[in-house]
Amino acid sequence: MRSRNDSAVRLGALAALWLSLLLVMYWWVAGGGVQELGGWATGLTSIGRITGLGASVLLLAQVVLMARVPALESAFGQDRLARIHRITGFTSFNLMLAHVVTITWGYAAGELHRTPSTLWDLTVDYPGMLLAVGGTVCLCLSVLTSIRAARRRIRYESWHLLHLYAYLGVGIALPHQLWTGQEFLSSTGRTVFWWTAWAVAAVAVLVFRVGIPIYRNVRHRLHVTAVVPEGAGIVSVYVAGRRLDQLRAEAGQFFSWRFLGRPGWTRANPYSLSAAPDGRRLRITVQDAGDGSAAVGSLLPGTRVLIEGPYGRMSPRARTRRKVALIGAGVGVTPLRALAEGLDYAPGDAVLVQRYTDQQLFHDEFQALWRDRGLSLLTLPGSRRRPDSWFGAGVREHDDVQALLEWIPDIAERDVYLCGPEAWTALVSSSLTAAGLPAERLHLETFKW
C-alpha cells in the first residue's frame, strides 16, 4: 500500500510541475509571445517574459522541494530529491539570468549600449524592482555556494545557512512579479494560478519547516541521556523524551539535530539513527569530521535537543523484496545498523557488507544480530586494493562485479540499501548495476556530512 501511495505521489508531483510549465507557456503563446519574436526589441522582451515565467515556476518548485513535505520525502527519498533540487535549481537560476538580460535589453529598444541605464531605471522606478534585485543577490549566494567546487570548500553549517537565503530570495521577488508582470495580471485565471502557487509554497514552508518542528519539540521535549565512545573520534548519543512512540520515526531515517547550550547550536546537522526506534529513546552515532560534529562528544546528560524530521526513504518503507543486502562504509554504516535491527527478516535473508579501514563500528552489536536474528556478515577491512575498487585489499584479484557475485550470488534478486562516502557509493552502485540489480531496488543515501 505504501509503495503504491509513493508511486502516486511521485507521478502527481512530476505531473503538477510539467503541467504548470506547459500552462504558462500556453498563456505566453496565447498572449502573442510567438508573434512578438518577429521583431528584435519585441522578441527580446518576449523571450524575457517566457524565461521569467519558467524561472518563477521552477523557483516555486525549489521552495516546495526544500520545505521537507513528508509526502515528497517518503515518496522520493533524499538522494532523488537532491538530484531534482539541483537540476531545477540551476535551471531556474539560468532562466532567471536570461530573463534579466533579455527583458532589460528589450526595454532598451534592443540597443545594447542603453541596457545598463535601462536596468537602472527599471530598478529605481518600477514597483518591487529593488526587492527583486535583493532577491536575485540572495539566489546568487545560494547557487554559487552550491557549485561542487565551492561546496567542497565550505563547512556544512556555513553552506546550510547560506542556502537558506534562497527562501528570502524567492520571497522578496514576489512584489515585483505580482505588481508589474504582464503574465500575472492579464486575466483572472492567471492571477489565481500565480497567487495559488505562491500560497502553496508559503504554506509548505510555514507548516513543514516551522510549524511542525516547533510542535514536535514542544511535545517531545528531547534531551541527552548518555554519550558513549564507540572508537577513535566516534561517539553514540542517546536521546530520550516524552511520547517518542508517536514520533513515527523508522529505522534508517535521519533527523536534523541542534544541541542547545553550546556554540553553533542554531545550525542543524543531519545524523541518521544508528538504532531502531523503540518508542523510549533515539540513538545517533557521530564521527568527528572537524565541523559541528566535533562538539558532540562533549555533550552532557540533560542537554536539551531540538530536532527536525524524521526524513529519508532509506527505511522499511522502500523495501519490495523478502531478501535484502545492506552495504555501508565507515560511519555510513549507522543507518544500516538501525535497519539490521528494525527490518523483519528470516535467518539468512539479510546480509550486511561492512567496509572499514581501522575499526569495525558496532562489531559486538552486529555479532549479536548474527546470533539472535541470523544476519549474515561480510567484512571488507583495510585499505582499498585499488583506487577504482570499493573492495578491501584482502579480496582476491577479481573485478568488483565478479567479487560481488561470489559473495552474494543472488544480489540482483534483493533490495539493496547503500550508504557511505559519495565516491565509494558510486563505485558500489556501478557494480550493482552491472550485476543486474534494477535501479528501483537500490536504496541509496550518500554520506556527506
Q: Residue holding cell 514576489?
A: 174
Strands in 281-287's sheet, in edge-to-edge order, are 223-231, 234-240, 281-287
Fold for domain 221-311?
A: Elongation Factor Tu (Ef-tu); domain 3 (2.40.30)
- Do residues 284 and 273 make contact, with C-beta atoms less than 8 angstroms apart? yes
pLDDT tens, N- to C-terminus, the chain (449 residues) = 777 888 899 999 999 999 999 999 999 998 888 999 989 999 999 999 899 899 989 989 988 988 889 899 888 887 788 888 889 988 988 998 899 899 899 989 888 889 889 888 877 777 667 777 777 777 777 777 667 666 666 666 666 666 666 777 677 766 676 666 656 667 888 888 988 998 999 999 999 999 999 999 999 999 999 999 998 889 999 999 999 999 989 999 999 999 998 777 778 888 999 999 999 999 999 998 766 677 888 899 999 999 998 998 889 999 999 999 999 998 999 999 999 999 999 999 999 999 998 889 999 999 999 999 999 999 988 877 677 788 876 666 668 899 899 999 999 999 999 999 888 999 999 999 999 999 989 998 765 43
| Residues 278-303 pLDDT 10s | 999 999 999 987 666 778 888 999 99
Nearest Cα neighbor of 15 from 61, 53, 59 is: 61
Q: Is 344 exposed, middle or buried (0-12, 13-18, 19+ CB in 10 A)?
A: exposed
Overall CATH class of domain 316-446: alpha beta
What pLDDT score does 376 carry?
Answer: 96
CATH 2.40.30.10 residue spans of the chain:
221-311
Q: Is 365 exposed, middle or buried (0-12, 13-18, 19+ CB in 10 A)?
A: middle
What backbone torsions phi and psi does residue 36 show, to the nearest 5 degrees? -65, -15
pTM, entire model = 0.83
What pLDDT score does 389 carry?
Answer: 86
What pLDDT score does 378 carry?
Answer: 93
Residue type, 173: A
What pLDDT score does 290 carry?
Answer: 65
Q: How many CA atoms lie within 13 A of 438 on its CB side?
A: 7
CATH 3.40.50.80 residue spans of the chain:
316-446
**Cβ-defined contacts of 185-190 (< 8 Å, 24+):** 186/31, 187/27, 190/27
Return the HEC string of 412-432.
HHCEEEEEECHHHHHHHHHHH
What pLDDT score does 158 carry?
Answer: 65
Number of H helices, E strands in the chain: 17, 11
Residue 362: partners with Cβ closer than 8 Å, 6 or more residues away:
230, 274, 285, 333, 337
Cell (9 digits) for 350? 539479510
CATH for 2-215, options being 1.20.120, 1.10.3470, 3.40.50, 2.60.40:
1.20.120
| Residues 206-223 pLDDT 10s | 999 999 999 999 999 999
70: left (phi over 0), alpha (psi -120 to 50) or beta: alpha
- Do residues 20 and 197 make contact, with C-beta atoms less than 8 angstroms apart? yes
Cell (9 digits) for 386? 585499488
What pLDDT score does 269 carry?
Answer: 86
Measured distance CA(48)–CA(44) in Å, rounded: 6
